A and B are shown apart, each in its own frame.
Chain A
């Protein structure tokens, strides 16, 4: 019997190569789409873009293509006609959406369905909003940059590690789109002299483009999200009463060591109230004025705190004005005031716009540097 089993096994294995290998695509035969892009034409038809690395001794290391298609899947079929190998979306690293697409296509998020439905597609590609037409991005070749996917990945990674932009993956976007208490946000970039990160695009609950945050504002946003990486730096202006010097010289730069964020929520008077309590522990990295930090540490800390509070308040005011909540205050509201939240969950952005947010900031200097 054993022999029969063995014979069976062996014949099965040897039969395999003849019949099997259904899923086999050798790496060099696959056209791995590493960057996917979606744009719209003038007459509002969607366009698919892709960037594929070329595995040969050719001079050009990647191939960029665009087609007009109704769905992403149809686009893939069309793209396949252009490529040497089999078109393959299993390794997409970046999805670029043109700003116009995000602004003008209602419910554009459904175009992303293919990435979620196909079990082999990754959900980790970074999603970026590109300010301009995608032609600009995909046919942009800077001699001193690596191929497009590596360039984009590198830019997003380094900027998000400095907290200057957000690191929104496709899955994160999916979560945000399906989250009542938070609105989505994406990395925004453009090509000016060279490709560059601009900051963060803010979207409303439906995914419509609302506004953008600059890089410094994004830093604040990520602190509020309790998602700030490493240390972040601020250059703050001290009141001249403290420094006793001219306006150009009263800057102090600090780098945070630790930030404690506490957000409390309450419901009173028909609207939500949030209390944001921020405690910074920071080190001084630069000081232009003759301010004596030993003598005036308390004063300087308070001044920094005030500066920071203004920044945060300005940010939150902007968000409330635009009725978007990328911080996720709604999540706090739901967790602590479920009954009230249920009444407004259909349009939390609106409710957030009317709520009251109080910010309290305190700063403590942990290190003043090696010079007085």
Chain B
């Protein structure tokens, strides 16, 4: 039996992990961000954002091609020295932990606000940690399967939103570009936050079964993300009048509140809990990656011990303090800054460094 045969992830799992991390709470928040930035032409901004992200993601794949059997940490350790690798492990571990924590707190807040108003937030949060442990314990390939299942179980989402169709006013999408291109282009960076998570590529790459399909996978996952965002953005732009769109939080959830099905009323409660499958993609893989970085740092083969520490730490910490919604948004701003540095800027620099490194070494070898 191939020893690591069952430890690989398929291209589809790769696609779903990457787009799952991105979509998770972007799906709830992005329409408003786009509207605030670029008005009713925000969806154009979205396309630009997606293109930029795809490019950045492809850069990561390009970097990782230098080290098909190792993660970014091995690559750094090999090309830039052991200590650089360790430093990167610490930084990335912290980044992923922060990302995961932000995601889980956001979900907790949404549930607290809309479903369990009187239950203490820490209890909700701890409840969410249990499935996280069950899944992340199994390692990358289980998370890959989880991504598939959660995406599969969420295919009903577009269908539910179709019910909203009856309440839409498509004229709200006109005029296109009322204020010209400027706001559209200046708003592009604000979308980056909602595409974050593709940095996981640098860790997933060595596990990919078909590495030559990595670039294709990246394009597919970014396309899925874009389509999901476009869908929800266009729908909410057509649903809300321009005056109210800025006054409402979490447009996607709010839209569903207008839905009345003959057998079910106030669908949004059910939607939020079922949407947890997607929400959870913003913390389960990231807790895993964070604990993975730690175990790499410690040189241990088993990531689970660190996973337990992380989750238990999160649970204990949450018992004392769970950030409020506003703090969550502030955390999001910080995360956006870190994320842009780590996932957009750093890979480009790294690729440059690697090319230079190879060029110099190649010249040395020649001379």
Q: Please report A residues at the B interface, Cβ cutoff 8 Å.
A: 5, 9, 12, 20, 22-23, 90, 116, 119-120, 122-124, 169, 171-172, 174-180, 182, 328, 331-332, 334-336, 338
Contacts and interface: CB of A to CB of B under 8 A. Distances in A.
B145 interface: no
Given A179-B243, A180-B242, A332 B171 contact: yes
Given A20-B123, A22-B120, A123-B258, A335 B115 contact: no
Given A331-B169, A335-B174, A335-B175, A178 B243 contact: yes
26 contacts: A5-B133, A12-B126, A20-B119, A20-B123, A23-B117, A119-B115, A120-B117, A122-B257, A122-B265, A123-B257, A123-B258, A124-B257, A124-B260, A169-B258, A172-B258, A175-B241, A175-B244, A178-B242, A178-B243, A178-B244, A179-B241, A180-B242, A331-B169, A331-B171, A335-B171, A335-B172
Contacts of A116: 248
Given A22-B118, A23-B117, A331-B172, A124 B243 contact: no
Interface string B171-182: 110110010000
Given A9-B130, A122-B257, A179-B242, 6 more contacts: A20-B123, A22-B120, A90-B266, A177-B244, A331-B171, A338-B178
A120 B126 CA distance: 22
B265 A119 contact: no
Contacts of A178: 241-244, 247
Interface in B114-132: 114-120, 123, 126, 130
Given A331-B169, A338-B175, A120 B115 contact: yes
The 10 closest A-B pairs by CB, nearest first: A178-B243, A335-B174, A178-B244, A119-B114, A179-B241, A22-B118, A22-B119, A119-B113, A335-B171, A338-B175
Nearest to B308: A1
Nearest to A182: B241
A119 B117 contact: yes
Interface centre among A176, A178, A331 (most CB of B within 10 A): A178
Question: What does DSSP make chain B's interface, helix, strand, loop or mixed?
Answer: loop
Contacts, number: 78
Q: What range describes how many residues of B lie at the interface?
A: 20 to 34
Contacts of A9: 130
A90 B247 CA distance: 22
B310 to A, nearest CB: 15
Contacts of B169: 328, 331
B79 interface: no
B271 interface: no
Contacts of A336: 174-175
B355 to A, nearest CB: 46
A77 to B, nearest CB: 16
Contacts of A179: 241-244
A124 B244 contact: no
A176 B171 CA distance: 15
Interface string B240-274: 11111001100000100110100001100100000
Interface of B: 113-120, 123, 126, 130, 133, 167, 169, 171-172, 174-175, 178, 240-244, 247-248, 254, 257-258, 260, 265-266, 269
B121 to A, nearest CB: 11
A97 B185 CA distance: 46
Given A120-B114, A123-B257, A176 B266 contact: no
Contacts of B116: 22-23
Nearest to B115: A120
B139 to A, nearest CB: 15
B150 to A, nearest CB: 21
Contacts of A124: 257-258, 260, 265-266
B317 to A, nearest CB: 17
Contact of B258 (A171, A331, A338): A171
Contacts of A175: 240-241, 244
Nearest to B259: A124
B243 A180 contact: yes
A137 B130 CA distance: 51
Contacts of A171: 167, 257-258
Contacts of A176: 241
Contacts of A23: 115-119
A1 to B, nearest CB: 8
Contacts of B260: 124
Contacts of A5: 133
A208 B269 CA distance: 34
Nearest to A4: B308
A124 B269 CA distance: 14
B244 A174 contact: yes
A358 B205 CA distance: 64
Contacts of B242: 178-180, 334
Nearest to B246: A178
A243 to B, nearest CB: 41
Nearest to B260: A124
A120 B123 CA distance: 19
Contacts of A331: 169, 171-172
Contacts of A22: 116, 118-120, 123
A198 to B, nearest CB: 24
Nearest to A123: B257
A123 B120 CA distance: 25
B265 to A, nearest CB: 7
A334 to B, nearest CB: 8
Nearest to A176: B241
A241 B175 CA distance: 48
Contacts of A335: 171-172, 174-175
A335 B177 CA distance: 11
Contacts of A332: 171
Nearest to A169: B258
A10 to B, nearest CB: 12
Contacts of A180: 242-243
A222 B172 CA distance: 19
A12 B116 CA distance: 18
Nearest to A227: B166
B266 A122 contact: yes
A182 B116 CA distance: 36
Contacts of A328: 169
B197 to A, nearest CB: 26
A286 to B, nearest CB: 32
Nearest to B123: A20
Contacts of B240: 175
Contacts of A169: 258
Contacts of A119: 113-115, 117
A20 B126 CA distance: 13
